Amino acid sequence: MSKHIPKFKNQDEERKFWATHDSTEYINWNQAERVTLSNLKPSVKKISLRLPESMLEELKLLANKRDVPYQSLLKIFLAERIEKELGSY
């Protein structure tokens, strides 16, 4: 039998609760259903990144060949590398 999940006054209170409690004592994850939140847009944060001009020009050249904006191509390259690095652990 699962424990009863308490009512929370706000998200901060709930966040603190789950940071110190094991969810398997409250939720039967074997009965959980996987869902896709297709309309959920990821939060983004604007950053400033300094690159050598030659690197930026090469990135723009590669992006032009693929017919994508260079910022999008840079995000693709970063995502691929992050996945590779994290996969090696």
Contact 17, 5 (CB under 8 A): no
> What does the DSSP 8-state code read for residue 86?
H
Which residues fall within 8 angstroms of residue 68, CB to CB, at 6 or more apart?
A: 76
Question: Tens-of-pLDDT digits for all 89 residues of the chain?
Answer: 578 999 999 999 999 999 999 999 999 999 999 888 888 888 889 999 999 999 999 999 999 999 999 999 999 999 999 999 998 76
Which pLDDT score is estimated for 24?
92
Which pLDDT score is estimated for 15?
95
Which pLDDT score is estimated for 89?
63
Which pLDDT score is estimated for 1?
53
* Overall pTM surpassing 0.75 (yes/no): no
Contact 26, 2 (CB under 8 A): yes
The domain segmentation of the chain, as residue ranges, is 49-89
